Amino acid sequence: MNRIGERIKKKRELHKLNLNELAGKVGISPSALSQIEKSKSFPSIVTLKSIAENLHTTMGELLGENEVIANNPVVLRNEMKLTDQNRSGTNIYLLSHHDINKQMDTYLVRFAKTSGMENLLSDSHGQIFCHVLSGEIRFQIEEKTYLLKQGDSIYFNAKSSKEAVNNSDGISEMLWIQSPANF
């Protein structure tokens, strides 16, 4: 929080801009920018926004929100923790301990034959990456349908209407990774 200045300066130098140049783009005086970098003052939100855009980064990044420390590396062998299951036979396993500092939620989803997840993990925000580990899974994202086989991946918005069902005779499995974490 009190190191926004450092981060801005670092990013600015990374982009090979001097105070005048960046200040010009942002729309404040070089002196003002200097004071911000030296932590003599905080930028207003509108200036922070402009600084972030001109340094091709996000406000959260400059605010240091991505520097939180995750706890010790957690290794989970095949003993995963079941977090959710529905009647049709879809099981969702956690692939890392829930932690307030985690950026990502990581799950393994195992479908019994002819099972699916419709309203599971719904009402979430951020973005989702899925990777099919085995079998064949049919995704419906908004209106479109995607048929994914082992080794395929898909990336979509968490806010989308989404549905995934097993499309194979046996068990199908996929990784489900979501960022930022919804805990």
Partner DNA sequence: TTAATATATTAAGTTTTACTTCATATATGA
Partner DNA sequence: TCATATATGAAGTAAAACTTAATATATTAA
Enumerate binding residues for DNA (CB under 7 A): 18-20, 23, 27-32, 34-38, 40-44, 46-47
Site string for a second copy, 67-86 (x = CB under 8 A): x-xx--xxxxxx--------
Beta-ladder partners of 182: none
Does 10 participate in binding a second copy (rule CB under 8 A)?
Answer: no
- When binding is defined by CB under 8 A, the residue of 84, 136, 152, 163 that contacts a second copy is 152
Query: Contact at 8 Å (CB) between 112 and 89?
Result: yes
Encoding tokens for residue 130? Answer: 């899925």
Which residues, in sequence order, are CB contacts of 78 under 8 Å at separation 6+?
none
Alpha carbons 22 and 70: distance in angstroms, whole number: 33
Is 148 an interacting residue with respect to a second copy (CB under 8 A)?
Answer: yes
- With respect to a second copy, which residue has the nearer C-beta, 115 or 178? 178
Backbone angles phi, psi at 83, to 5 degrees: -110, -25
Binding mask 14-53 for a second copy (x = CB under 8 A): ----------------------------xxxxx-xx----
- Residue 8 has, within 13 A of its CA and on its CB side, a CA count of 31
The token pair that represents 47 in the structure block = 């200036």
Determine, following the binding rule CB under 8 A, whether residue 4 of this chain makes contact with a second copy: yes
Query: How far lies 21's CA from each of 29, 43, 56, 114, in Å?
Result: 10, 17, 15, 60
Name the minimum Å distance from CB 33 to DNA. Answer: 7
Q: Which residues bind a second copy (CB under 8 A)?
A: 1, 4, 42-46, 48-49, 56, 58-61, 63, 65-67, 69-70, 73-78, 95-96, 100, 102-104, 106, 125-127, 129, 131, 133, 139, 141, 144, 146, 148-149, 151-157, 159-160, 175, 177, 179-180
